[in-house]
Amino acid sequence: MSLRLYNTLTRQKEPFEPLDPANVRMYVCGPTVYDFAHIGNARPVIVFDVLFRLLRELYGKDHVTYVRNITDVDDKINARAAERFPDLAPEVGIRKLTDDTAAQFHKDIASLGVLPPTVEPRATEHIVEMVQMCNALVANGHAYVAADHVLFDVSSMPDYGRLSNRSLDEMEAGARVEVAPYKKGPMDFVLWKPSKPGEPAWPSPAGIAVPGRPGWHIECSAMAGRHLGNVFDIHGGGIDLAFPHHENEIAQSRCAHGTDIMARVWMHNGFLQVEGEKMSKSLGNFITINELLETKTFGANQWHGRVVRWAMLGTHYRQPIDWTVDRLVQARATLFDLSFLHGAPVADAPHPEVIAALSDDLNTPSAISIIHGLAKSAHRNAMSASILKATLQFMGLYDNETQSDLNPGYQVRTVDSVKVDTLIAARLDARKRKDFNESDRIRDELAAIGVTLKDTKNKDTGEIETTWELAR
């Protein structure tokens, strides 16, 4: 099975070849934990969960390492902790805020059918690696110390800007932000900065006397390096992170480790908007995952996690997605229609056509349309039903609990399909003999067990053909 992925670095779809098929390595930028995650944040979490599942299917469950970090050092975290816990010491308040928020995030995304990553590093537990990286970059001339900061010298890296496809000249010309006086070049970025009173602080690198804290970009470089090595296979995140975050991660990691690349494939999901508008607090259309699942604020409904996941995967990950009530209503109807799988056994493996669709740069809309096709035959065939169920579970789209919840009072209804087929054959026979009493009697007998029949005339042979469905 050949996997192809679109690589932002080369701007094309490429065959994926892992550096080591016995350990396929992927890093995805995780949340900054200071508030409920919103539905836009759920997109990369779901998309890269599908990729994680696919890699496990293709290379084996024990041959994939997926790292998704938790960013727990950040200005927004400091401000929020001070606001929420004014009476606690800053470090205690920050730890409480980040622990609570991370726990909420885990709860939310578990409902969305997201598997835990292999490793979930926290930035504050990797300060040593960040300090080492700063020291290495200063020592080899890619970074410098100014006003108790460590800054990356962008002019020291000739191909800075390759990922986002911009030249340094263009970036400098477009730099509108007021440039700090201690920077040598306007695009130079912070690796380490001094801490203000009340902010978390650690002993600084590069001989800086005052305590400080890391910049955001170096956190990911340090955590990726520690858990995946200097060069790994896939790095992912939302498209907004390509510049400057990922560009800067690449600069730091390559220059610290002396490598040509940091990750082979860079993948970015498109943005999510709500009912045609950018999601923002000021527009009043800002939705958290938790609100969708637990309150009735979006479309006056609570939505099941699998419904949310289904709705998310209906659009290809690189396209923008418009988050609408209508999309959720449709996803729920589709899942509802799959309730007949409730009692079905689960096959060993998902359907190969779905694996093939996902192997084409995670084509989830195509996978979903294949699933719709499978559902048609699964109604009448136990074997197809078990493969469909395995496929849905593989994609994280189905669990029995959600299904029963979607259908309060739902009775699992099964029929003996051999018996149904025999009765249908007997009915067609009766019709041929023009024994309409008998054919009607058989139709009624089937209706009594919930089976409805549909007769169609075959255009080529002129024969009547009968298909059947089991009523919900």
Interface residues with Zn ion (CB under 5 A)? 29, 220
Q: How far is the CB of 375 from ligand AMP (least distance, A)?
A: 29
Question: Binding to ligand AMP (CB under 6 A): which residues in 239-268?
Answer: 240-241
Q: What is the DSSP letter of 2?
A: -
Calpha distance 311→52 (Å, rounded) = 19
Q: Are 237 and 29 in contact (CB under 8 A)?
A: yes
Stretch that binds ligand AMP, among 24-32, 295-303, 378-386, 397-405 (CB under 6 A): 24-32
Q: Are 48 and 262 in contact (CB under 8 A)?
A: no
Q: What is the DSSP letter of 10?
A: T
Q: Which residues of 100-118 are buried (b: 16+ CB within 10 A; e: fewer)?
A: ebbebbeebbebbbbeebb
Name the strand (E) or helix (H) holding 344. Answer: none
Contact between 215 and ligand AMP (CB under 6 A)? no
Residue 218, contacted partner among ligand AMP, Zn ion, none, CB below 5-8 A by kind: none
CA 232 to chain centre: 19
Please tell me the number of Cα atoms within 13 Å of 415 on its side-chain side.
24
Q: Are 192 and 208 in contact (CB under 8 A)?
A: yes
93 or 238: CB nearest ligand AMP: 238
For tokens 């190969």, name the residue.
Answer: 352
Residue 220, contacted partner among ligand AMP, Zn ion, none, CB below 5-8 A by kind: Zn ion
Calpha distance 24→41 (Å, rounded) = 24
Contact between 277 and ligand AMP (CB under 6 A)? no
Q: Are 388 and 374 in contact (CB under 8 A)?
A: yes
Residue 463, contacted partner among Zn ion, ligand AMP, none, CB below 5-8 A by kind: none
Contact between 26 and ligand AMP (CB under 6 A)? no
Contact between 29 and ligand AMP (CB under 6 A)? yes
Residue 93, contacted partner among Zn ion, ligand AMP, none, CB below 5-8 A by kind: none
**Binding characters for ligand AMP, 35-54, by CB under 6 A (x = yes):** -----xx-xx----------
Q: How far is the CB of 269 from ligand AMP (least distance, A)?
A: 6
Q: Given candidates 271, 336, 410, 468, which one binds ligand AMP under the rule CB under 6 A?
A: 271
Contact between 355 and ligand AMP (CB under 6 A)? no
Residue 156, contacted partner among Zn ion, ligand AMP, none, CB below 5-8 A by kind: none
Question: Binding to ligand AMP (CB under 6 A): which residues in 278-297?
Answer: 279
Coil/strand/helix, residue 196: coil
Residue 335, contacted partner among Zn ion, ligand AMP, none, CB below 5-8 A by kind: none
Contact between 101 and ligand AMP (CB under 6 A)? no
Residues sharing a CB contact under 8 Å with residue 217, sequence separation 6 or more, in sequence order:
189, 191, 244, 245, 248, 249, 252
For tokens 């009624």, name the residue.
Answer: 444
By the criterion CB under 6 A, which residues form the site for ligand AMP?
Answer: 29, 31-32, 40-41, 43-44, 237-238, 240-241, 269, 271-272, 279
